[in-house]
Amino acid sequence: MLKFLSIRDFVIVDSLELDFAAGFTALTGETGAGKSILIDALSLALGERGEASMVRAGCERAEISAEFDISALPQVQAWLQEQGLEGDAGVCLMRRVLDAGGRSRGFVNGGSATQQQMRAVGEFLLDIHGQHAHQSLLRPDAQREILDGHANLLRDAEAVALLYRDWQALHRRRMQLEQNAAAVLAERDLLQFQRSELEGLNFSVAEWEELQAEHSRLSHAANLLETAQFGVEVLSEADTSCLAQLNALTARVRAGVEFDAKLQETLTMLESAQNDLQESVYALRHYQQDLDADPQQLREQEQRMAAIVEAARKYRVTPEQLPAALQGIVARLDELGGDADMEELSRQDAAAHEQYLALARKLSAARKQAAGKLSQEISLAMQTLAMQGGSFAVALLPLAEGNAHGLEAVEFQVAANPGVPMRGLAKVASGGELSRISLAIQVAASQAATVPTLIFDEVDSGIGGRVAEIVGGLLKQLGKRFQVMCVTHLPQVAAMADAQWQVSKAATDGVTLSNIRVLKPAERVEEIARMLGGVKITDTTRKHAAEMLGIPA
């Protein structure tokens, strides 16, 4: 439940700190005093959109802080822990800062939080029934959500929606494949041919590199043999070969070493060169013997290379990209699948449909039972809200194929007077009737609420007298199970409250400020008397107010 609220520089509030208690609290005050500011501030703290106009004129920023007791809300504690926003045990602190430029920041338990996170946790903590909430009742989705929420079927409805989406995805895929069966078959045949062709080529990048190198060698074999032969002749076979001349020079230097030791170093280098040249001769002769200039082998290599180049051209890739092209073909074949895959997809489609239908039928049965109960509760509430003889029904309209929300549409139907046939809520209810039916629905739906705090913002507009007293009794009854607050202009409603707060505004030095204070019993008499009376409050009015409050006059 809400324990504490701090408001700084918000609209026409400069500074306000409020402590909250359990039970039913009424907020009253003159028209225009700012009774809804408290609700607007709470909405902002719980993630609603903020506007620059909410910052009090002349101030840099507005700040709202709210403290909630969540010791009895394990689902909130688990959510905060999951989001990494846990704080002190049993406490949830919500804080929102809105600057004059319209930018805002949110915090949960001191940690920075997104607006979406603040709204998510706010849904666990507080439920606001606005004075125009009845307008949303005309939407079919809102009617369905009220029924499912009242019957604790929201999770079941989400599960049905998930199964429906899964089934639809499979069904669309199967239908697409069936509609394009001929095109798919032709594409699959082509891909299978291409796969066989490329696999038959048995190509590898390593082989391609080796082929290129070997072809280059064989295609220049004659020139290479000639080069080797020329080298052998120059080095050793010609009359004036390098080796012959080097040998002669080496012999003369060796003889000279006997007379001058300084030639020893030169001799060593000549002998080394002599050995290197001799090794070169051996290597060239060995190369001549090993060099294979077989024309047949060269032709075979050229044919192989031509086949590879042709395949690369056909598939519009380089030879090195042929393996990747084959992988792409195989992947596409896997996507298209085969006849066996089509049969399996059909089985999956049917199984997913049956799974959806099974859970949707279960949801329908639960909705049918809940619809009857909710219809009775709201019809009973209508009798006490000046709609005697009227009746309310939650109709479940079958859908031939079903949808993400189940096998039926939910429609709220009403007969405002006895003997009148049921018709859709949007078609028959007047503004006043719709407001009262809205209150009856909200009270009935709140019985199944899981949030601990309920706020009603002038939902009693358009009613008075005995009906207003009944509304006050309904809110007081809710206050025994929830923390209930109601902004009201009706003395009959305010008199039923366990506590009453007065909202007022005053101008100081040309600045208008709003304030909220808790009324003591005697002050409540004056406030109820003001709400009952006109310009002048008489002793008779005060006596009536005290009687309504059960206070001795």
Given this structure, which CATH class describes domain 1-126+496-512? alpha beta
Please choose, from the candidates 44, 36, 14, 16, the residue with its C-alpha nearest in 3D space to the C-alpha of residue 104.
Answer: 44
**DSSP state string for 382-409:** HHTTT-TT-EEEEEEEEEEEEETTEEEE
Query: What percentage of the chain reaches a pLDDT higher than 90?
Result: 32
Per-domain residue ranges of the chain: 1-126+496-512, 186-336
How crowded is residue 305: how many other Cβ atoms within 10 Å of its Cβ?
Answer: 16
Between the alpha carbon of residue 401 and those of residues 88, 360, 365, 404, 405, the distances in Å are: 50, 11, 17, 10, 11
Report pLDDT digits (tens) over 289-314: 666 655 676 677 778 888 888 988 98
User: In this predicted structure, what is the pLDDT of residue 285?
Assistant: 79
Q: Find where tokens 């700084």 sit.
A: 8
Q: Convert the pLDDT of each residue in 55-100 to its tens digit.
A: 998 899 999 999 999 998 888 999 999 999 998 999 999 999 999 9
Q: Look at the pTM and tell me if it is higher than 0.85.
A: no
Average pLDDT value for residue range 400-421: 90
**Contacts of 88 by beta carbon, 8 Å cutoff, 6+ apart:** 109
Banded pLDDT at 241 (limits 50, 70, 90)? confident
Per-residue pLDDT tens digits for 277-292? 888 888 887 876 666 6
pLDDT higher at 23 or 468: 23
Whether pLDDT at 181 is above 80: no
Q: Tokens 């001549």 appear where?
A: 288
483-487 and 24-29 beta bridge pairing: parallel
Mean pLDDT estimate for the chain: 85
Q: DSSP readout, 536-549? A: S--HHHHHHHHHHH
Q: List, as own/partner pairs, every contact residues 161-167 make where C-beta atoms lie below 8 angstroms and the sequence separation is at least 24, other chains included.
A: 161/404, 161/405, 163/352, 163/355, 163/356, 163/359, 163/360, 164/356, 164/360, 164/402, 164/403, 164/404, 165/404, 166/352, 166/356, 167/349, 167/352, 167/353, 167/355, 167/356
Check residue 553 and give its pLDDT.
64
Q: What pLDDT, on a 0 to 100 scale, did the predictor assign at position 226?
A: 67
Element (H, E) at 493: helix 491-495
Residue 113 has pLDDT above 90, yes or no: yes
Instruction: Say whether 510 sits in a helix, a strand or coil.
Output: coil
At residue 412, the pLDDT reads 92
Q: Is the pLDDT of residue 434 over 60?
A: yes
Rounded Cα gap, residues 30 and 45, in angstroms: 25
* Cβ atoms of residues 367 and 430 within 8 Å: no
